[in-house]
Amino acid sequence: MPTVEDVVRLLGGAEAAANRCGVGTEAIRKWRQAHAIPPRHWPAVIAATGLSLSDMPGAPPAVGAAPPPAATAVETPPMPETDADAVPEGATAALVLGDGSVFWGRGFGAKRTTVGEVCFNTGMTGYQETLTDPSYAGQIITFTFPHVGNVGANPEDMEAASPAALGLVVKQDVTEPANWRATRHLDDWLKSHDLPGLAGVDTRALTMLIRDGGPPHGVLCHPADGRFDLPALRARAKEWPGLEGMDLAREVSCRQSYRWDETTWAWGRGFGKQDAPRRRVVAVDYGAKRNILRSLADTGMDVTVVPATATAEEILRHGPDGVFLSNGPGDPAATGEYAVPAIRGVLDKGVPVFGICLGHQLLALALGAKTYKLKMGHRGANQPVKDLATGRVEITSQNHGFAVDDKSLPDGVEVTHVSLFDGSNEGIACKDRPAFSVQYHPEASPGPSDSGHLFHRFADLIEREKGE
Catalytic positions: 357, 441, 443
Please provide the DSSP assignment of 245-285 as one string.
T---HHHHS-SS-EEE-EEEEETTTEEEE--S--EEEEEEE
What is d(CA 86, CA 75) in angstroms, rounded to the nearest whole number?
28
Cite the DSSP H helix spans in 110-248: 127-131, 186-192, 203-213, 230-239
Are the beta carbons of 252 and 288 closer than 8 angstroms? no
Are the beta carbons of 165 and 118 closer than 8 angstroms? no
Helix (H) or strand (E) holding 376: strand 371-387
Q: Is residue 349 packed enough to be buried (19+ CB in 10 Å), middle (13-18) or exposed (0-12)?
A: exposed
What is d(CA 68, CA 54) in angstroms, rounded to the nearest whole number?
13
| Beta-bridge mates of residue 343 | none
What is d(CA 367, CA 99) in angstroms, rounded to the nearest whole number?
38
Are the beta carbons of 136 and 165 closer than 8 angstroms? yes
| Angle at the Cα of 316 from the Cα atoms of 468 and 430, rounded to 5 degrees | 60
- Encode burial over 21-31: b for 16+ CB neighbours within 10 A, e otherwise: bbbeeebbeeb
What is d(CA 43, CA 51) in angstroms, rounded to the nearest whole number?
10
| Beta-bridge mates of residue 184 | 153
Please provide the DSSP assignment of 81-129 as one string.
PP-TTSPPTT--EEEEETTS-EEEEEEEE---EEEEEEEEE--SS-HHH
Compute how many other C-beta atoms are within 10 angstroms of the C-beta atom of residue 312. 18
